[in-house]
Chain A
């Protein structure tokens, strides 16, 4: 890998080395991840490299993120590089860890227990995560829930929580600062801000913890917070849909999702105002702190159900 200067990190399950022709990228990355610096990430670490290209002498400089053999065009502005690095890091973490079940989910620790918080993009999982952190919860990830299917341990992948402009005021209410002040922009031109895990304090990052609860986050018909329980099959499908590496497990992925749902307490939670949602969630978990709740007794054993939706496909 030539004479590039490599910087080494271990971000939870991911060991990586980073080199950049743009020095400020190292400064940015260090701001976000300096607590995860290691002296040597090892020979099989993921590598990320920021390179600059000028296809023609009169062309503007283009930035490329290379990650273990793949290339991502990162635009002409240095401000677009960090979000591309984050994207590449997520993608490579998924690809390089097929032994785990990985879900598009926030992951937190509350009183020694792992909590998976799967949600669609834009639901507000990063904002909720940040509020929970401010209440003493510990952080595993705001993006990927990494579960060992052999041990049911939830592993840390403590990326810098990423928020978009609409979440900014709420975060600032908590007294947290975002980085950088004017945001980074990806190709979709939306501003993105990061919260350094360093700012959360070393104790805020949890080690691997036993997974006990799965809370699907969503918006309800009426203002939340409130929870509903689904049948085991319904919960499994919800969870399976959030899997980001289903092809790594093929038919086992569904079987493992069933096992996981049966191993955990599972709810769907309609989010409300965060000041109400956080204590509501804590009370719920405290009430069911160890033993999986039986799935909702199906009252429809002999009761006809409407034909639609009869069949749900993922």
Chain B
């Protein structure tokens, strides 16, 4: 079961609940809104996608079905932007 892992070479700026990430290898910057930031921070190589979705429901008081769908969508985007690996 995939346990996504955030990349550790990124420069991280935390601003309120949002994150700005700078990738020095690709020279690209990213803004993650609060929910995306939360998901990215749970990508520690220990949590499965389902576990991250469960944490999202606890944190943001959202229905599990929506959380699963949005977690999957967010992880897909984070993967595409090379901000996580599949661990």
- Residues of A at the B interface (CB closer than 8 Å) are 231-234, 236-237, 240, 246-247, 250-251, 254-255, 258, 295, 298, 300-314
Contacts and interface: CB of A to CB of B under 8 A. Distances in A.
Given A258-B13, A304-B60, A298 B20 contact: no
B73 interface: yes
Contact of A310 (B28, B61, B74): B74
Given A300-B17, A303-B60, A311 B35 contact: no
Contacts of A309: 33
Contacts of A250: 24, 27
Nearest to B67: A304
A73 B1 CA distance: 58
Given A258-B13, A298-B34, A310-B35, A251 B22 contact: yes
B49 interface: no
Interface string B8-33: 00010101111110101001111111
Interface of B is mostly: mixed
Nearest to A233: B18
A233 B19 contact: yes
B35 A305 contact: yes
A232 B19 CA distance: 10
A258 B15 contact: yes
Nearest to B70: A307
26 contacts: A231-B15, A232-B16, A233-B20, A233-B31, A237-B31, A250-B27, A254-B11, A258-B20, A295-B16, A298-B16, A298-B17, A300-B34, A301-B17, A301-B34, A302-B59, A303-B60, A304-B60, A305-B34, A310-B32, A310-B77, A311-B30, A311-B78, A311-B81, A311-B83, A312-B31, A314-B29
A236 B78 CA distance: 20
Contacts of B39: 310
Contacts of B17: 298, 300-301
A233 B15 CA distance: 6
B77 A254 contact: no
B54 to A, nearest CB: 14
Contacts of B78: 311
Contacts of A307: 35-36, 69-70, 73-74
A295 B81 CA distance: 27
B62 interface: yes
Contacts of B32: 310-311
B73 A312 contact: no
Contacts of B73: 307-308, 310
B71 to A, nearest CB: 8
Contacts of B20: 233, 236-237, 254, 258
